[in-house]
Structure 1
């Protein structure tokens, strides 16, 4: 009997929506690079989405990971990676990032 392998599971997409008027592209690109470096095997893509009006929102699928207006400014890399980890692979140890 020939068994068909299961279809591949789609990996999550992170979208970083940044304000073009505020020139936050470099900040968004840096955060995308950090996420891709840390979660290279866990993410399907990190997209940079241009926006306006002071927007800076990081979403993983339908879930908002960070919103500048709600969370108060921009995340530091440690907080961002911990929030993404908690969404993707909660049991994963982030090494020195998880240490006080």
Structure 2
């Protein structure tokens, strides 16, 4: 039998909970699963859990400890992985760099000298 430990939010062992609520009628399970995988790959040791929660009615919402950080209807579509990771990072550890995700946007490429 496997024991599951739960920690109250005010203990040092607490790690955040992400919930991805997705529409089953729209068949968005794969999209939700991919986003969960992206978050778990980036924040592997920092998140307590990432939950996939089925819903209906075109819903696609992502919450961080109960606070809405993405809503398909109000944010105008689905988040890019970069944006989602930045929103999670901004709550989890605002000073943490995300490597290439935080990188500058490249300017125009100069033509080679001939």
Normalising by structure 2, report the TM-score: 0.80
Cα offset, 1:41, TM superposition: 1.2
Provide runs of 4+ in structure 1 moved above 3 Å: none
User: 2:50 is matched with which residue?
Assistant: 46
- Aligned to 1:84, the other structure's residue is in SS state helix
Q: Secondary structure at the match of 2:77?
A: coil
Aligned pairs for 1:28-67 (under 5 A) are: 28-67=32-71
Q: Distance in 1 between matches of 2:88 and 2:12?
A: 22
Aligned runs of 1:67-78 on 2, under 5 Å? 67-78=71-82
Deviation sequence 1:74-99 (CA, Å, 0-9, x none): 00000000000001110100000001
- Residue equivalent to 1:4: none
Size of the alignment, in residue pairs? 94
Which residue number in structure 2 is paired with residue 20 of structure 1? 24
Q: Say which is worse superposed, 26-35 or 8-17, in terms of deviation.
A: 8-17
For residues 53 and 30 of structure 1, the distance between their equivalents in structure 2, rounded to whole angstroms, comes to 21
In the alignment, structure 1 segments of 5+ residues that lack a partner are: 1-6
Unaligned runs of 5+ in 2: 1-10, 105-114
Question: Greater Rg, structure 1 or structure 2?
Answer: 2
Shift of 1:67: 0.3
More helix by share: 1
